[in-house]
Structures are given as structure tokens and as C-alpha cells.
A = this chain, B = another copy of it.
Amino acid sequence: MERMQQIVGRARAAFKSGRSRPLEFRIQQLKALERMVQEKEKEILAALKADLNKSGPSAYSQEILGVLRELVTAMEKLPAWAAPQHVKKDLLSIRDEAYINYEPLGVVLVIGAWNYPFVLVMMPLIGAIAAGNAVVVKPSEVSENTAQLVAELLPQYLDKDLYAVVTGGVPETTELLTLRFDHILYTGSSSVGRIVMAAAAKHLTPVTLELGGKSPCYIDKDCDLAVACRRITWGKYMNCGQTCIAPDYILCDPSIQGKVVENIKATLKEFYGEDVKSSPDYERIINKRHFKRILGLLEGQKIAFGGETDEASRFIAPTILTDVSPESKVMEEEIFGPVLPIVTVKSVDEAIEFINLREKPLALYVFSNNKHLIRRVISETSSGGMTANDVIMHSVVPNLPFGGVGHSGMGAYLGKFSFETFSHRRACLIKDLRLEVVNKVRYPPGSMEMMHL
């Protein structure tokens, strides 16, 4: 406990020193992070392979490329982001300076998740540094190799006191959450999200919660099924289904269910070959606990494809379930695994109703040639974000915010949104002491005649 207090205390003292305020310092730290990612690429990829069996190319494109892009963006845009934002004035303030000043909050806590263990600490860290804060990073202990690596690497490249890494499991995180921060960004499950927010409430610490849910994927009869299914297959089975914005389940008309299965099967063969288990591109379930959890979801289900498992290597084959009942276990919680249930619905109305009966998901997908139908689904549902005619991709568009709504989260980040999330927008109005006569109207003694002019 004392250790935690000391770490956070040092971060706060370092922040109070003021050295993280000048833009030059922040850019210098971001540059060091960039060097770290470039110089230690091998080590990072090795850790991701050890934790999730991520192949080099997958790990690089999923976790490193995005981080390098975010760093370049932050370094390039920081002067523009950090500049005071002058606002439109009114008659009363015509002679004044009126602007929004972006200021650091203080000490930010970033709690990472295990499924994309590198990028999910790095992206928030980049934004928090850019905004001028001190940052305490708590990587997920479940992805232990990456957590260990982050703990070793950050102090080698960054200011040791301003940017501290804390490792450990539930007891350590619980302790950490009793301490006072100026913002907490947590990525993980809804149930722990509640715990984080409750802890934050004790200190009136604002939070950004990147949670999860069951992201629905509606496939309209009017669409190019081969293309749709290839894109869905890619997003569903990447990282062995352990992606917060993976299409969780499919909704489609019973008449196309068979074709959907055929197309996905064909794509899986394209992607992973005849023997998925020996494909270097196919990941593994993070640990035994999740392996068992997902295995349990297959009970009593009609397996149209896949279903093979191997506990020793935590392997679960890409699996498709058909004619799934809405009341079954696999339709209760977020699957977070390579199991794709298909629930049949007779119309887009039924699909919309189905989606709206459930908690707001982090992502929503709809495939159709009909733009009107797509817009209708968007306007009659809610979700953190959405992509039409593809999956995942809204999360990589540079100027779109990434975040949830309802049980899938609150707040957003990435790019400029990270900078704003980790900043205080301070309203500033600078007047001068002249023209006092203009203020006469507001001073007592008052009269109603004056008011109604």
C-alpha cells in the first residue's frame, strides 16, 4: 500500500514541479515513446506472442502500427490541440478575450486490458502525456508478458517519476483505486467498470470507461454475401474473437443463414488453411479460465462449423452456431471468443427490436446495399459506434471518437478526443477595467423598467 502511495505521490510531486506543462517536454516524451516502439519492436512482438499467440504480422498491424500513427499524430497536432480556443463573443463581451484553455488535469490513471495489452495502455498514455499530465499505468496482469515488458521499458525511455508503471492483480488494483487521481481511463468489463466508477466517486475523479457488450451484426438479404462474410470473418476471428468491438453475433433472415455459413467457412479456409491449429495467424484464448467459459457456451448448441478445442494449448477452433435461441447462454454475455452465433430474424424490424431489447453495445454492424436501411438501423438503435458494410473499421478512422454508451461505457478517446478527455477545458474571460459605465445596468439599485428594455 505504501509503495502505491509513494508511486502516486511521486507522480503528483513531479506534476506539481510543472515540467510536464511545456509542449516541448511533452513532445520530447512522445518522441522517446516512438523510439521505444521502434527499437523494441522485437521484444513487444515476442511478448504478444507469448501472451496471446499473436503472429508477427497480426501483432504489428493490430498493436504497433496504430501506436506509431497515434504518436505521429499527437506530436504533429499537439500545438494546435493545446492552443487556446477562442469562442464567439456576444454584445456584452465584444471587447473582451474569451477562450477555452486546455489544461492538464494532474495525475491520470490508465488501466489496461489483456486482449490488446500493448495498444490499450499505449493509446491512453499517449493522450495523457500529450495533455500534460503525469500518468500511472496499470497494465493487465492477465497478459503478464506484456505487462512485465511495459514495466521494464517505460522507465528506460520516459521520465521515471511522471510516468510510473504499477503491476499486479486484483489486490494491487484495488489498493491503487483507493488513491486519488484526476482522471481514470479503464478498459475492461462492465462489472469492473462499476467498481472503478464507485472508487472514483470517493474522490470525485472523472472517468472514461471503455467497456463491452454484445455487438450485433445484421446481414440484410440485399447485399454481397461473399464480401460481407469475408469482412465479418476477419473481424470476428481476429485475436481469437477477443476484441471488444468484434461482431458478437449475427442477425439474418433464415433463408440466407445457410449461405452465410458457407461463405464464412470458405473464408476461414482462405485465411487459416485446412488445419487452423497450425496456422501461424490464428491466436489462442488468453487463459484456462476464459477457455472453459467459452467452451461452456457451446453446450446444447447446433454447431454448423468448428467446435474443436484443445485445453492444453487453449485452442478453440473458429466456430459457427446456427438457429441459436435468444435465451441461450451464448446470447447472454459478451462471448469474447471465436464462437459466432446466428440468430434468425424475419425482418429488419425484428432485428432492430431484438437489438433494442438488450443493453447498448460498444459497436453495431449492418450489411446492406440499401443505404436507407442502414440509416434506419442507425437511427432506431444506439451503440458506442458503428460500421456499415464492414466491421471494426470505425475504430481506425482518425477523427472519430472511440467509446461506448450505457453499459458499454462512457467518454471516448483516440486522437484529439484523447487530448480532450485528459484535459480540463477552462472557460476564460479577460475583461479590462475600463468602460465601467456599461455595467451600470447590472448594479443595484435596480428597477424593472431597466430590465424590460
Contacts and interface: CB of A to CB of B under 8 A. Distances in A.
A1 interface: no
Identical subunits present: 2
B57 A451 contact: yes
Interface in A91-136: 92-93, 98, 100-101, 103, 105-106
Interface in A276-308: 279-282
Contact of A201 (B16, B201, B394): B201
A194 B199 CA distance: 10
Dominant secondary structure of chain A at its interface with chain B: mixed
B428 A367 contact: no
Contact of A401 (B16, B405, B425): B425
Contact of A281 (B55, B58, B444): B444
A424 interface: yes
A325 interface: no
A35 interface: no
A430 to B, nearest CB: 4
Interface string A59-73: 011000100000000
A390 interface: yes
A203 B428 CA distance: 34
Nearest to A224: B433
A103 B393 CA distance: 21
A433 B367 contact: yes
Nearest to A104: B382
B385 A426 contact: yes
A367 to B, nearest CB: 7
A209 to B, nearest CB: 7
B190 A194 contact: no
Interface residues of A, number: 107
A249 to B, nearest CB: 20
B281 A389 contact: no
Contacts of A228: 433
A393 B93 contact: yes
Contact of A101 (B378, B436, B450): B378
B407 A204 contact: yes
A39 interface: no
Contacts of A100: 400-401
A242 to B, nearest CB: 16
Contact of A105 (B211, B272, B387, B405): B405
A198 B190 CA distance: 15
Contacts of A445: 271-273, 279-281
Interface string A29-71: 0000000000000000000000000011110110001000000
A428 B393 CA distance: 10
B90 A397 contact: yes
A65 to B, nearest CB: 7
A433 B273 contact: no
A93 B397 contact: yes
B55 A388 contact: no
A309 interface: no
B451 A65 contact: yes
B427 A401 contact: yes
Interface in A423-453: 424-434, 436, 439, 442-448, 450-451
A230 interface: yes
Of all A-B residue pairs in the complex, the 10 with the closest CB atoms, nearest first, are: A57-B446, A385-B427, A197-B201, A281-B444, A87-B399, A400-B427, A394-B429, A388-B430, A206-B410, A271-B444
21 contacts: A55-B446, A57-B446, A61-B451, A92-B396, A98-B394, A100-B400, A103-B382, A105-B405, A204-B209, A204-B406, A206-B410, A234-B443, A271-B443, A281-B445, A369-B433, A383-B426, A384-B427, A386-B427, A394-B429, A405-B426, A412-B427
